[in-house]
Amino acid sequence: DPAPPRRSFGGSTHPQDPAPPRRSRAEPLLQSMPLVRLFVQKTLNKPVPLVALQAKLCKVWGTTPQTTKIILTKVDDWTSEQFKEDVYVSVRAKATPERTRDVVLEHCRSVQAAFAEEGLIANVRLETYVGESYFHVPPAK
């Protein structure tokens, strides 16, 4: 059996695979919101307005509040203050052909700007996962 074509972060690396369809800027980039985890030090003296940030991130990712999950974790301390951030933003999102490196970096900058609008300095990181390796069991209704 031949090995399946390798996939890279930005899409297929197989020369016979067609390029992903172009999306207009008006089309939502994502079908579901990435998981967004916020880490702040317990000593932070600024508010972290989750509802306002949720609305801003929905605009960035083209989602609704019903599919948006933001988790705030307050920590005692963390290492290295080289960036002087108020919030460490960790995003996990499904890898898709539309999420090229340039698109993801643009969205990370937009996330950073959303926090800046709320007076917060954000250090934003994003990692992608392969959808077939993701599992979720929500609570029964």
6 phi, psi to nearest 5 deg: -75, 145
Nearest-CA neighbor of 107 among 54, 51, 49, 58?
A: 58
Rounded to whole angstroms, the Cα distance separating 125 from 138 reads 25
Answer positive or negative: Cα dihedral of 94, 95, 98, 102: positive
Nearest-CA neighbor of 38 among 56, 50, 51?
A: 50
Q: What is the pLDDT of residue 11?
A: 37
Structure pTM?
A: 0.71
- What is 18-76 written as a DSSP string? PPPPP--TTS-S-SSPPEEEEEEETT--S---HHHHHHHHHHHHT--GGG--EEEEEES
- Amino acid at residue number 61: W
Structure confidence by residue, pLDDT tens digits, 115-139: 999 999 999 999 888 877 777 788 8
- What is 74-141 written as a DSSP string? EES--S--TT--SEEEEEEEE--TT--HHHHHHHHHHHHHHHHHTT--EEEEEEEE-GGG----PPP-
Residue 8 has pLDDT above 60, yes or no: no
Residue with tokens 């989750």, as numbered in its chain = 50
Residue 69 has pLDDT above 50, yes or no: yes
Q: Per mean pLDDT, which range of 9-18, 23-32, 80-89 is the poorest?
A: 9-18
Q: How confident is the model at residue 25 (pLDDT cuts 50, 70, 90)?
A: very low
Nearest-CA neighbor of 94 among 2, 7, 21?
A: 7
